A and B are shown apart, each in its own frame.
Chain A
Amino acid sequence: MRVIVPLQAVVQGRGGLVLGSLIPCALFYFLQFYLRRNRPSSSSPPPPSSASGSNLPELASIPRSLSRGLLSPRGSFGPARLSSRGTAVVRDDDNPYYVGLKRCADDPYNRSTNPQGFLLLGLAENRLSLDIIQDWLVKNWKESLLLDDEEEELSIQGLATYQPYDGSMDLKTAVAEFMGQVMQGSVSFNPSHIVLTAGATPAVETLGFCLADPGDAFLVPSPYYPGWDRDIKWRTGVELIPVPCRSTDNFSISIAALELAYNQVKKRGMKVRAVLVSNPSNPVGSLIDRETLCGLLDFVMEKNIHLISDEIFAGSTYGSDKFVSVAEVLDAESFDKSRVHIIYGLSKDLAVPGFRVGVIYSYNENVLAAASKLARFSSISAPTQRLLISMLSDRKFISEYLAVNRVRLHDMHALFVDGLKQLGIKCASSSGGFYCWADMSMFIRPYSEKGELKLWDNLLNVAKVNVTPGSSCHCIEPGWFRCCFTTLTEKDVPTVMERIQKITKSN
């Protein structure tokens, strides 16, 4: 029963094992006994904690019973119930991040065919440079897919049969080289440190399974990518503790804040197992500087925990700041590498999210051994592997693609930020990613999560513009919104601004 978990945490807490646990123990047991007598026998987990602010799991939620679950299942026709894990997933419906995406899916904007449709500013998908990839495919698809290495004939034998679950060595090699190109030659990656997965989503979940036990916690500087709340928490039982960053220093990571959060979590009896960061940051778009990276590495070394750096947007930088991967810092300085793991993938930089290619890059042999076995649940499809090996091995093409893509991202970003500026909306300073982090706090009333969600709702349902509210990202300051600009063309920008203005004017 979920109500017991915090009790265990208290019992296992450091110091005061007897005093600290006996009395709360007794109280809890009385509470549960009382609850059991007065509630039906089946129970579901506590409702998911609200998207914003709350840093720590609720300690004493009363289990809600399922409306159908009043029958005892033994020896009679019980309804076909789901597990508590399953039930939590069914109910996980109301986060604006997902609500917005769903709403737009059926009626997406298209300048010529559907000019009244929803503007997809909540979707971090890069459509700016797909034409370049398409051109390459037109010339190369047949060879890239069908040919056997030895014969020049159509052969599926090599593709069809069982492959290594964590990806073929050929693809790992091609991906390692791609990563090197993406980071502009500042660091080289070793293919045997790679585990490939069907997208970055299972990659980060797999690390969750490998680095922490159920009930443990990751410290996550916030605002952070809303998807992690599902990807990491759902099945691993790991808790994410937001560590708020402030607009006053452009939402940069503060080691002092991490230290504070670490101690707070410790006091509650939970074990922190890792720090999870994204670099370039999602949703802010800023880069972590070298000094902070060193600070993070010192911090995790001191606490004997892990560092996970999600660098999935590393190739999508456009500002004047140079991207520094944690791998680069590790190469240069003498930090303990075995606690560092990088998440990467082809969904953003190569713009092929449908193909499902994610990467765990780790220096820790034991993590690699476990992750490669876990990869069986999320392997990359063989024909896709073959296609990508071919594409990624064309280094000249990749080099050109990355360069042109960067320019297009830069230009679109500039246009968009400027457009928002004309509306009186300032954005955080960003150098990477597909979005800007916009401050619309002057347009929300009241100055709270409630006000923010009201604005989000109006933007979505009145102006038909889907953006991601900061509360979904656990931003502690209300009024910030993530606005993606990569599903647009230049000509769409005025339309976007017009629609946003419709709402901001009336506020």
Chain B
Amino acid sequence: MAKKGVPLSEMATSDTHGEDSPYFVGWKVYDENPYDAASNPSGVIQMGLAENQVSFDLLEDYLEQHPQEFGWGCGVSSFRENALFQDYHGLKTFTRAVALFMEQIRGGRTQFDPQHIVLTAGATAANELLTFILADPGDGLLIPTPYYPGFDRDLRWRTGVNIIPVHCNSSNGFQITLRALEDACAGAESMKVRVKGLLLTNPSNPLGTAITRPVLEEILDFVAHKGIHLISDEIYSGSVFSSDEFVSMTEIVESGGHQERERVHIVYSLSKDLGLPGYRVGTIYSYNNEVVTTARRMSSFTLVSSQTQKMLASLLSDKEFTENYLRTNRERLKKRYEFVVEGLSNAGIRCLQGNAGLFCWMNLGELLEEPTVEGELSLWNSMLHEAKLNVSPGSSCHCLEAGWFRVCFANMSQQTLEVALMRMKDFTEKMKAKQMISSL
């Protein structure tokens, strides 16, 4: 007699966690055979992880000069209070510091009220929390494509909310158009799905571009007209190569009317700009008091460690440090970006013109056997197993045009990057040669 196991929930047994998609499969292959210059030079180079390692030295210098920041002061006297502190309002010094930091990123063009900040353990939790709060199971969230593959899991899995893609294409550099928004809404309507909000990532992941002011204004008008919410995930706002090229949704809101303000919610985190994803520090900033109250209460499932808050409060409020950090980090990312684009260009690969983020959006359409998802995945697979490069295929990001790939460049040393670009060149030459032979 077969023993029947005790049943689990549908959620536990479904695959909405999406970890079988190529985006994650590539990571697993990397984990099993990671590149190391000395011990494993033929391993897989991870170019699918958007992590910022270019500015660690700046953080380490700071900590060396201010070691007491890492503890609880030399006498550890404030440890007691800190260890007990689990107030979901967050440590006052810390929320103030986060507000200041976000203001600095925006060149002081907008102000952030610390009382409207809700802390979460990472932006992943922030986005999910907002989805729970703004949409019910079966409702829809509009998301422009291509988008971060993690959204499929983070926004849908436990919430039961649907993602309605707003399709963008290369004809205009993948910019979001009113037409695309309207089409997406019409599609949702025909499926009887109630759209509750639009989620933007600005600067965009995976495109690596900051959204322009006219487009942002158009989007805000659109959400106001539809009576829906707007989530602006600005997690890469500090990683725009030139500080005057980023326009935050907060700037658009503050120049607009009062009504629109209540539908806008910003997501931020220290994982990208500050390179501290392990610290799990995310935040929701909302102009809407009800959303702030609700998010705060729900944040009890995802609080930031009080130790971490204390540790980072001084660092983030040190204006001299943060100014220097932001400026230096931007410069270094820009340099990396230009280096990568040049390297890819030498390999005959075009990239979308980008100005932000930890990655670039490259086009390998010419190398596809067929201009389809299958063709793209076949090329991706070859790159992974032959060139030993893990990049992210556009289809995982729901890009409708086959052949685009996201390449991360900030999560490795300069030397490793050089190796990666060389491998890319070799790979493309090989593929082109194959194509020539097969066309004979």
- Which residues of A pack against B, CB within 8 Å? 71, 73-80, 82-86, 89-90, 92, 105, 125, 127, 130-131, 133-134, 137-138, 141-142, 145-146, 154-157, 159-163, 198-199, 201-202, 205, 209-214, 216, 230-231, 234-235, 273, 304-306, 336, 338-339, 347, 351-356, 364, 366-367, 370, 373-374, 376-384, 387
- Which A residues are CB-close (under 8 A) to B263? 80
Which partner residue on chain A sits nearest B297 by CB separation?
A89
Q: Is the CB of A83 within 8 A of B306?
A: no
Contact of A209 among B11, B49, B84 (CB under 8 A): B11
Q: Is the CB of B306 within 8 A of A355?
A: yes
Query: Does B6 count as interface, using CB distance less than 8 angstroms?
Result: yes
Query: Does B373 count as interface, using CB distance less than 8 angstroms?
Result: no
- Given known pairs A86-B294, A161-B51, A378-B302, the reply for A198 and B280 (CB within 8 Å) is yes
Q: Which of B1-59 contact A (CB under 8 A)?
A: 4-13, 17, 19, 49, 51, 53, 56, 59
Quick one: CB contact mask for B109-137 with A, threshold 8 Å, 1 for yes? 00000000000011011001000111111
Cα-based distance from A356 to B5 in the complex (angstroms): 32
The 27 sampled A-B contact pairs (Cβ below 8 Å) are A76-B225, A77-B225, A77-B259, A79-B227, A82-B294, A83-B132, A86-B294, A133-B79, A134-B80, A142-B70, A146-B63, A156-B59, A162-B278, A163-B278, A205-B301, A214-B137, A304-B6, A305-B6, A351-B84, A354-B85, A356-B304, A377-B302, A380-B280, A381-B281, A381-B307, A382-B279, A382-B280
Q: Is the CB of B278 within 8 A of A159?
A: yes
- Given known pairs A213-B10, A305-B6, the reply for A381 and B304 (CB within 8 Å) is yes
Which partner residue on chain B sits nearest A347 by CB separation?
B86
Contact of A381 among B139, B280, B297 (CB under 8 A): B280
Which partner residue on chain B sits nearest A71 by CB separation?
B227
Closest beta carbon of chain A to B431's beta carbon, Å: 31
- Which B residues are CB-close (under 8 A) to A78? 227
Closest beta carbon of chain A to B218's beta carbon, Å: 17
Q: Is the CB of A133 within 8 A of B298?
A: no
Q: Is the CB of A137 within 8 A of B79?
A: yes
Query: Does B228 count as interface, using CB distance less than 8 angstroms?
Result: yes
- Which A residues are CB-close (under 8 A) to B301? 198, 201-202, 205, 231, 235, 377-378
- Which of B99-107, B285-293, B335-343, B344-352 lies at the binding interface? B285-293
**Top 8 A-B residue pairs of the complex, sorted by shortest distance between their CB atoms:** A78-B227, A354-B306, A382-B278, A370-B12, A381-B305, A86-B133, A73-B227, A80-B263
Given A161-B53, A209-B12, A338-B6, 15 extra CB contacts under 8 A: A83-B139, A89-B297, A131-B80, A134-B76, A137-B71, A162-B51, A162-B278, A214-B137, A235-B132, A304-B4, A351-B84, A374-B157, A379-B121, A380-B305, A384-B308
Closest beta carbon of chain A to B34's beta carbon, Å: 13
Contact of A86 among B13, B82, B291, B302 (CB under 8 A): B291
Contact of B290 among A82, A141, A370, A383 (CB under 8 A): A82
Q: Is the CB of A370 within 8 A of B8?
A: yes
Closest beta carbon of chain A to B127's beta carbon, Å: 10
Cα-based distance from A211 to B7 in the complex (angstroms): 7
Which partner residue on chain A sits nearest B14 by CB separation?
A370
Q: Is the CB of B76 within 8 A of A125?
A: no
Cα-based distance from A214 to B280 in the complex (angstroms): 29
- Which B residues are CB-close (under 8 A) to A85? 132-133, 136
Contact of A356 among B86, B229, B278, B290 (CB under 8 A): B86
Q: Is the CB of A373 within 8 A of B9?
A: no
Interface centre among A76, A86, A90 (most CB of B within 10 A): A86
- Which A residues are CB-close (under 8 A) to B11? 209-210, 213, 370
Which partner residue on chain B sits nearest A370 by CB separation?
B12
Number of A-B contacts (CB under 8 A): 252
Contact of B226 among A73, A209, A376 (CB under 8 A): A73
Query: Does B371 count as interface, using CB distance less than 8 angstroms?
Result: no
- Which residues of B pack against A, CB within 8 Å? 4-13, 17, 19, 49, 51, 53, 56, 59-60, 63-64, 67, 70-72, 75-77, 79-80, 82-87, 121-122, 124-125, 128, 132-137, 139, 154, 157-158, 196, 224-229, 259, 262-263, 275-281, 288, 290-291, 293-294, 297-298, 300-308, 311
Which partner residue on chain A sits nearest B89 by CB separation?
A105
Contact of A90 among B70, B139, B290 (CB under 8 A): B290
Contact of A160 among B77, B196, B275 (CB under 8 A): B275
Q: Is the CB of A198 within 8 A of B83?
A: no
Contact of A154 among B60, B132, B288, B298 (CB under 8 A): B60
Closest beta carbon of chain A to B367's beta carbon, Å: 30
Q: Is the CB of A209 within 8 A of B9?
A: yes
Q: Is the CB of A80 within 8 A of B262?
A: yes
Interface centre among A80, A336, A367, A377 (most CB of B within 10 A): A80
- Which B residues are CB-close (under 8 A) to A202? 301-302
Which partner residue on chain B sits nearest A365 by CB separation?
B5
Cα-based distance from A367 to B53 in the complex (angstroms): 34
Q: Is the CB of A83 within 8 A of B227?
A: no
Contact of A377 among B64, B125, B290 (CB under 8 A): B125
Q: Is the CB of A383 within 8 A of B133?
A: no
- Given known pairs A92-B297, A367-B8, the reply for A83 and B70 (CB within 8 Å) is no
- Which A residues are CB-close (under 8 A) to B307? 354-355, 381, 383-384, 387
Q: Is the CB of A353 within 8 A of B293?
A: no
Which partner residue on chain B sits nearest A159 by CB separation?
B278
Contact of A379 among B59, B122, B291 (CB under 8 A): B122
Q: Is the CB of A89 within 8 A of B294?
A: yes
Interface centre among B87, B281, B293, B308 (most CB of A within 10 A): B308
- Given known pairs A80-B263, A83-B139, the reply for A354 and B84 (CB within 8 Å) is yes
Closest beta carbon of chain A to B126's beta carbon, Å: 10
- Which A residues are CB-close (under 8 A) to B64? 154
- Given known pairs A83-B135, A159-B279, the reply for A336 and B225 (CB within 8 Å) is no
Closest beta carbon of chain B to A98's beta carbon, Å: 9
Cα-based distance from A85 to B128 in the complex (angstroms): 13
Q: Is the CB of B262 within 8 A of A79?
A: yes
Q: Is the CB of A141 within 8 A of B10?
A: no
Contact of B132 among A86, A141, A159, A162 (CB under 8 A): A86
- Given known pairs A75-B226, A138-B76, A162-B278, the reply for A356 and B291 (CB within 8 Å) is no
Cα-based distance from A141 to B17 in the complex (angstroms): 38
Which partner residue on chain B sits nearest A385 by CB separation?
B278
Contact of A198 among B59, B121, B275 (CB under 8 A): B121
- Given known pairs A76-B227, A376-B124, A377-B121, the reply for A353 and B6 (CB within 8 Å) is no
Closest beta carbon of chain B to A226's beta carbon, Å: 13
Q: Is the CB of A384 within 8 A of B275?
A: no
Closest beta carbon of chain B to A19's beta carbon, Å: 28
- Given known pairs A89-B294, A202-B302, the reply for A161 and B277 (CB within 8 Å) is yes
Which partner residue on chain B sits nearest A271 by CB separation?
B7
Cα-based distance from A76 to B259 in the complex (angstroms): 12
- Which B residues are CB-close (under 8 A) to A304? 4, 6-7
- Which A residues are CB-close (under 8 A) to B82? 354
Q: Is the CB of A378 within 8 A of B125?
A: yes
- Which A residues are CB-close (under 8 A) to B281? 381
Cα-based distance from A356 to B299 in the complex (angstroms): 12
Contact of B305 among A73, A86, A210, A384 (CB under 8 A): A384
Cα-based distance from A84 to B277 in the complex (angstroms): 32
Q: Is the CB of B133 within 8 A of A89?
A: yes
Cα-based distance from A199 to B289 in the complex (angstroms): 26
- Given known pairs A146-B70, A199-B303, the reply for A377 and B9 (CB within 8 Å) is no
Closest beta carbon of chain B to A334's beta carbon, Å: 14
- Which A residues are CB-close (under 8 A) to B87? 105
Q: Is the CB of B83 within 8 A of A351?
A: yes
- Which A residues are CB-close (under 8 A) to B10? 213
Q: Is the CB of B6 within 8 A of A306?
A: yes
- Which B residues are CB-close (under 8 A) to A198? 121, 280, 301-303, 305
Interface centre among B7, B84, B133, B304 (most CB of A within 10 A): B84
Cα-based distance from A205 to B298 in the complex (angstroms): 12
Q: Is the CB of B158 within 8 A of A209?
A: yes
- Which A residues are CB-close (under 8 A) to B229? 80
Closest beta carbon of chain B to A140's beta carbon, Å: 10
